[in-house]
Amino acid sequence: MEEKLYEVGRKLGFTLQQLKNLQWLVVGPFKEVKLEDTKSQWEPPKGLGKKIEKKWREHLKMRPNDFPGPMASVSSITIEEDRLIIKFRRTTYKEFIGTRRKSTQRLILTKEPLDKNIALPFSVGAVTVTEDNKIVLEIRGKVGLGEGLLNTLPSGWFDPTQDLTWRDCLLRELKEETGVDEREVIEVKILGLVFDCKLTQQPLLAVTLRISRISKEIIQPRGLKEIARLIFIENEIEKIKDIKYQFTPHAKGTLVLHFALSS
């Protein structure tokens, strides 16, 4: 399967090095994803607390409006037939920023727990396809990571204080970022888990989201500074390849899965 993913990635115009900065942790499609809250708090390794505080203070100098919001750190990933099961511990954005490393990271799925030394916040990202077969993309605005890069839409971190399931996270982000609610959702296809080894260093659940009765005129960012601009492009590999903007690593991984698993 990995060979096929690399082949699709090259067709999309991504370089070999860009593809090597990604891990497709598990590849579907899956019928369901179950998130299991272990009811435990992620704890930094001994001696790392002061380093986290220092990195967070440095981060706030550049992003003074950021706050240590709640996140879910992925501890284990297992597959039962066509179900993906993800166990997580509670963490915060501060711990995530404080444990991100400068070097490229790769996950070893046999390691227990996966988040022993670094917080691995779970997120959801979708390739949204409109009724006229257009993919909706966004140029990232003022965000902590990926500013000015092209990303799939919607996408965002799972918040264990308000999201009960991954789908809750997806629909919340869809509403916040586009103004579109769940009544317009036709289909959600679960593609797999993508790990960005370089930029965010965290796992993302990649899905294809098909929506109805939506046009370019009524999909608009809800006044969020995180989105600088929306782009609509034909749902075709050749069209994606022609885009001149630089994609986020997660967008590359999600688009590869979208086209590799499309039928």
* Banded pLDDT at 228 (limits 50, 70, 90): low
Whole-number Å distance between alpha carbons of 28 and 199: 24
Mean pLDDT of the chain: 89
Region of residue 243 (phi > 0: left; psi between -120 and 50: alpha; otherwise: beta): beta
Per-residue confidence (pLDDT) for residue 65, from 0 to 100: 83
**Residues 27-47: what's their mean pLDDT?**
94
Per-residue confidence (pLDDT) for residue 54, from 0 to 100: 93
Give the model confidence (pLDDT) of 100-111 as tens digits.
888 888 999 888
The CATH number that applies at residue 111 is 3.90.79.10
pTM of the model: 0.92
Tallying the residues shown for the chain, one arrives at 263
Tokens describing residue 69: 């919001």
Question: Domain containing 10: what range?
Answer: 2-260
**Residues 165-186: what's their mean pLDDT?**
89
Most confident of 61-65, 111-115, 147-151: 111-115
For the beta carbon of residue 142, count every other beta carbon within 10 angstroms: 13
Q: Is the pLDDT of residue 113 over 70?
A: yes
Q: Are 159 and 123 in contact (CB under 8 A)?
A: no
Per-residue confidence (pLDDT) for residue 4, from 0 to 100: 94
Whole-number Å distance between alpha carbons of 135 and 220: 14
Q: Is the pLDDT of residue 144 over 80?
A: no
- Please count the structural domains in the chain: 1
* Banded pLDDT at 224 (limits 50, 70, 90): low
